[in-house]
Amino acid sequence: MQTKPSTNNTPSPGSAAYAPTDRTIPTRSRERASYDHESVHAILDEAYVCHLGFVRDGAPVVLPTLYGRVGDRLYVHGSTGSRPLRMASASAEEQDPGLPVCLTVTHVDGLVLARSAFHHSINYRSVVVHGTAHQVTDPEEKRLALDALVDHVVPGRAADSRPADAKELAATAVLRLDLNEVSAKARTGGPNDEPEDMDLPHWAGVVPLRKGHDALIPAADLAPGIEVPDYLTGL
């Protein structure tokens, strides 16, 4: 599993891009930023969790959570009792202004070792989404969102599991965040040392990080005769 298969179910034309805004133009290293749909979606589809930020009593809160993507919409879910979902729900009662959030996804691809401490870095790819999350109330959209959340973890899995029943649906809240104010950022390549440091006796280069998985662990109570499905052997 070098890279996770894409769940990009609604490919965008290569030329389409999100419009940069004051919040999505970096203050530094602007050459590392990109806005095209393809780059943004690919980074989002490869990660398992995002970090969701919101404001509670004036202070920031950042929580890791699963997410799914359907075209230009991201979905996160949780118990109706969890904090951000209760907050969005409380908002909803007041004419649904939604919950301002920042959703960030990061891949660490390599460790960059320079001759100087100052130029140490990492190679990474990240996406930052700014916007307002809204509770999903339409039952059909909610089902599609929950399928997307399961398929985001393992593409093809939603169709091979028991769908949520009425009680489970009632216990689950789903928030939608539209991809609109969003940017990707990436660093690649080797260290950028100062010319006068080139003769220093320190090793310099990149430690490329690799993702993978170990052997599957079947549930202890898995019934005999149930084979590992194709979508798992293909990981």
Q: Please give the Cα distance from 15 to 13 (Å, whole number).
A: 5
Give me the least distance between CB of 1 and a copy of itself, in Å please. 8
Give me the least distance between CB of 149 and a copy of itself, in Å please. 8
Which string of b and e fits 177-208 if b means at least 16 CB within 10 Å? Answer: bebebbbbbbeeeebebeeeeeeeeeebebee
Cα 35 to chain centroid distance, Å, stands at: 16
Is the CB of residue 35 less than 8 Å from the CB of residue 18? yes
Give me the least distance between CB of 14 and a copy of itself, in Å please. 26
Give the residue with the Cβ less far from a copy of itself, 73 or 99. 99
Give me the least distance between CB of 17 and a copy of itself, in Å please. 21
Spatial CA neighbour of 73 closest among 141, 125, 15, 19: 141
Q: Please give the Cα distance from 3 to 119 (Å, whole number).
A: 28
**Alpha carbon distances (Å) from 226 to 218, 222, 229:** 10, 8, 9
Is the CB of residue 53 less than 8 Å from the CB of residue 103? yes
Give me the least distance between CB of 95 and a copy of itself, in Å please. 18
Give the residue with the Cβ less far from a copy of itself, 41 or 151. 151
Give the residue with the Cβ less far from a copy of itself, 16 or 25. 25
Give the residue with the Cβ less far from a copy of itself, 42 or 206. 206
Give the residue with the Cβ less far from a copy of itself, 14 or 30. 30
Give the residue with the Cβ less far from a copy of itself, 8 or 116. 116
Give the residue with the Cβ less far from a copy of itself, 17 or 232. 232
Is the CB of residue 29 less than 8 Å from the CB of residue 82? no
Is the CB of residue 155 less than 8 Å from the CB of residue 231? yes
Give me the least distance between CB of 13 and a copy of itself, in Å please. 28
Q: Please give the Cα distance from 123 to 32 (Å, whole number).
A: 11
Give me the least distance between CB of 72 and a copy of itself, in Å please. 20
- The two structure tokens encoding residue 39: 């780059």
Is the CB of residue 77 less than 8 Å from the CB of residue 149? yes
Residue located via tokens 């969890």: 82
